[in-house]
């Protein structure tokens, strides 16, 4: 019997940096575990080029991603809605659980700061995946066929 993937929505104001990075990692690291989406309360016209660059450095291609608003999402109910530092600027989206990650917006900062934010988001996505796997009673140790390597 196959695993039911958890629907997760990553939210930030412009859907141009943090939420796109989180969605990219969730799709890469959470294959078969997470069905990842992202949106913004005031979407930008394009994904931030620095976000694309630092994610390419880690093997994740955001160049095909596009910022979007909530009305453009193909799914309306989520298992997890995760905001990335937008507090009251982001609306409450229907979800079983709402999580807030306090991650500073890298917009306008240098590439090293983008890399710092990227590492922070990657760590948070890995923790979310470990939490989901632990809730399903799966081991997260090397050599187990059910594991994701984190």
Neighbours of 120 (CB within 10 A): 18
Catalytic residue flag (residue 17): no
Contact (Cβ atoms closer than 8 angstroms) between residue 44 and residue 19: no
Query: How far is C-alpha 80 from the chain's CA centre?
Result: 11
* Catalytic residue (choose from 12, 33, 51, 55): 12
Distance CA 50, CA 105 (A): 12
Catalytic residue among 33, 86, 121, 132: 86
Per the structure block, which two tokens stand in for 100? Answer: 């807030």
Please report, to the nearest 10 degrees, the dihedral formed by the alpha carbons of residues 129, 148, 75, 54 taken in order. Answer: 80
- Residues recorded for the chain: 150
Assess whether 12 carries a catalytic annotation: yes
**Which of 26, 39, 84, 90 is an active site residue?**
90
Active site residues: 12, 86, 90
């Amino acid at each position: 019997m196959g695993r039911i993937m958890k629907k997760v929505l990553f939210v930030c104001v412009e859907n141009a940096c943090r939420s796109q990075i989180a969605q990219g990692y969730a799709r890469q690291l959470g294959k078969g575990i997470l069905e990842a989406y992202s949106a913004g309360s005031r979407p930008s016209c394009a994904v931030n080029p620095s976000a694309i660059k630092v994610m390419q450095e880690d093997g994740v291609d955001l160049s095909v991603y596009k910022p979007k608003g909530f009305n453009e999402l193909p799914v309306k109910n989520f298992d997890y809605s995760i905001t990335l530092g937008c507090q009251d600027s982001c609306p409450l989206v229907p979800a079983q659980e709402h999580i807030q990650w306090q991650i500073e917006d890298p917009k306008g900062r240098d590439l090293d700061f983008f890399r710092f934010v990227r590492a922070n988001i990657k760590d948070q996505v890995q923790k979310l995946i470990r939490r989901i796997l632990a809730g399903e009673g799966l081991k997260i140790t090397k050599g187990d066929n059910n594991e994701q390597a984190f």
